[in-house]
Structure 1
């Protein structure tokens, strides 16, 4: 900065010496215009240095995370109680809305009964396997007996010790016994398949019943809406008697979270050449005229809407000239003296990159003038 001031002072002294002290040249309108034009360009040194080394923005707003409070209920449900009001501060876990539980409690009991039934059916499947094995043993015994009789009569008939009709009868009974054994084996297989239909060692019907029970418990819990975190309720319009359900898409209210607020300021792209996270920031909020708060750069949002082409069936069109998109810088206010940080609050921001330190006083004066001007502007009574 001292070099720039020296150049400007030297130029002023040079003009004074040439035109007024020694009168080497006659000062006229032409020389006045030339001198003024050169002087203005010398003053651009200060403008360029401030823009790049201490970027400044009057387009900054406080951003606070918000949560849309939307009921997650599968069918039309009556709102019975509203336990919060607009602009009310709530703590995480506080009950805010209570819906009618009747249908959801009935669904829970129904699914609990189905779970018990499924668990009993799983035990019955074990018994069915035992019964199928017993039936198979009986069929095998009958088959063995029929085989022995067929063999015995096959030896007696040729010798005249038994009649052919008796052998034919036992042959038919053996065929029936074979069919009975095949059927019994199939029944054992079916019983074992039904018993072994498991997921991670648990019967599939029991798993399905447990899932239905968990779902019914989930929806029963959703009849009570609690604050997900500390914050403030805004735009609260719900009243008892309101019916919500699977077709409602609007939120009951908005919770403005207390945690993780930040300031978002936009800058022209060329001003961010030397901006990096962790650099010092001064903030002047309009709601606190005459005060300056300390902060630091958290991150630079390296992207604008102009850098995005959304998928569509249309060929992109480009028009020139088009104004450049401004880049956003996320700023964390670390000053403990800041007691109130309302969402949407407007202010000015100055970033100190650590370069060109000689020019910093000018920027610090600049942002303080903005802050004190908030006592007067806007001019309204």
Structure 2
């Protein structure tokens, strides 16, 4: 709108100079129609060229990455101490919150004890194998001795050298010894199977106990929350006495990171016809009147909420006269000392220079951008 008014003003001044100041032509109805017709087409052509070859928007904002600070505790836990103040800058690794850890420390101690018990049981399983092997060897020895006695008395009884009762006794003892051998073999196999229950070479009970220790240690560590990177926590509302965990799933703070801010501007879809990544951009932020920041197009977000249908039990409704959704363009601002002073959500205007339409089109848009920036010195009018 600003550049259109500027063009109309220049054209009106030109017409005034021609018809009234220097009187090069005499103004009449015919010249009035010609003047209007030429002016209309000049304005129309300039607006079209500006819109497509230097897309412009006043819907742009500084975007900073945010991290939701959410305690990951399975039981209701009391917040004991807060180490940060409102909007305080922090470095990666700085302590932010401390939660009460008595319960989790006790669970860790219990898990460590269970691990020691599991390791001891693993050693006992190895000993059980040795015991079962000894029992098998003893049963086999008894079986061999009983078999020898049965053979000896089997030769003596027919010759009258021994009684039949003695042979019957040794045959009974041989059967019992054979049963003991089978039982000893089963016990040895059972002990071996118990000892061979391993995961990646570690006894299964020991592996399970180690996992419990790791889980308990994880929750102990989660009772202290540290800054994930350099940044600032906006709207610090958490206070000692706050209970988290259990059924609470919401975050207690929003962490705004210092790294990798960018400018996100939305444009009408048709104006992005000639826009490509890498093209130069100018940005005028409202918080810095009179300044122009440069950058480049990083990416075009080819999608809006109108292109998404959320699964639900109703048939989608389509509004014929609904306004089109704009596409967002991600802009990387050039490295500048002021880059670190860009607060999240800072509003501004942006213009993309595609290189088409001739250099004079870009000049007009640059004038437009600077007018927007300078007007920020007095707008809004809330003196």
Q: TM-score, normalised by structure 2?
A: 0.90
Structure 1 residues 92-103: aligned runs within 5 Å:
92-103=92-103
Q: CA deviation at 1:318?
A: 2.3
Quote the Cα distance in structure 2 between the aligned partners of 1:173 and 1:315: 85
Aligned to 1:372: 374
Residue 150 (structure 2) pairs with residue 150 (structure 1): yes
Matched residue of 1:40: which SS?
helix
Equivalent in the alignment of 1:123: 123
Map of 1:325 onto structure 2: 325
Q: Which residue of 2 aligns with 1:3?
A: none
How far, CA to CA, are the matches of 2:56 and 2:100 in structure 1?
A: 54
Equivalent positions of 1:68-107 (< 5 A) are 68-107=68-107
Cα distance in 2, alignment partners of residues 260 and 134 from structure 1: 70
Q: After the TM superposition, which of the residue ranges 235-244 and 358-367 deviates more from structure 2?
A: 235-244
Could you tell me which runs of 5 or more consecutive residues in structure 1 were left unpaired when the two chains were aligned: 1-7
Aligned to 2:194: 194
Query: Hey, what's the Cα distance between the residues in 2 that align with 1:113 and 1:172?
Result: 50
Q: Secondary structure at the match of 1:264?
A: strand
Distance in structure 2 (CA, Å) of the matches to 1:170 and 1:37: 131
Structure 2 equivalent of residue 285 of structure 1? 285
Could you say which residue in structure 1 is the equivalent of 2:232? 232
SS of alignment partner, residue 306 of structure 1: helix
Residue 38 of structure 1 deviates from its aligned partner by: 5.0
Q: How does 1:134-283 map to 2 (within 5 A)?
A: 134-283=134-283
1:313-348 CA-to-partner distances (Å, cap 9, x unmatched) read 333332313321100000111151425100011000
CA–CA separation in structure 2 for the residues paired with 1:369 and 1:106:
66
Provide Cα deviations, 1:235-270, integer angstroms capped at 9, x if missing partner: 111111222122112222111100011110000111
Give 1:151 shift.
1.9
Q: Which residue of 2 aligns with 1:303?
A: 303
1:136-178 deviations in Å (ceiling 9; x for gaps) = 0011111111112222222222232222222222222111111
In structure 2, what is the Cα distance between the partners aligned to 1:140 and 1:284? 95
In structure 2, the CA distance between the partners of 1:364 and 1:21, relative to structure 1 (3 Å rule), is: closer
Distance of aligned partners of 1:148 and 1:104 in 2 relative to their CA distance in 1, 3 Å threshold: same
Q: Distance in 2 between matches of 1:247 and 1:22?
A: 83
Question: Displacement of 1:80 after TM fit?
Answer: 1.1
| Cα separation, 2, equivalents of 1:279 and 1:350 | 10
Q: What is aligned with 2:345?
A: 344
Which residue in the other structure is 1:4 paired with?
none
**Partner secondary structure for residue 123 of structure 1:** helix
Kindly tell me the number of residue pairs found equivalent between the two proteins.
Answer: 365
Which residue in the other structure is 2:4 paired with?
none
Q: Write the deviation string for residues 36-80 of structure 1: whole angstroms up to 9, x where unpaired.
A: 245312321111111111110100011111111111111111211
SS at match of 2:338: coil
Q: Deviations over 1:193-231 (max 9, x none)?
A: 111111111111111111111111111111111101000
- CA deviation after TM superposition for structure 1 residue 33, in Å: 4.7
Aligned to 1:362: 364
More displaced, 189-198 or 335-344? 335-344
Contact between 1:293 and 1:335, CA under 8 Å: does it hold in 2? no
- Write the distance in 2 (CA, Å) between the matches of 1:178 and 1:259: 78
User: Shift of residue 34 of structure 1?
Assistant: 6.6
TM-score by length of 1: 0.90
RMSD: 2.3
Q: Does the CA-based 8 Å contact 1:293-1:338 persist in structure 2?
A: no
Larger CA deviation: 137-146 vs 104-113:
104-113
Task: Work out whether residues 294 and 335 of structure 1, in 8 Å CA contact, stay in contact via their aligned partners in 2.
Answer: no
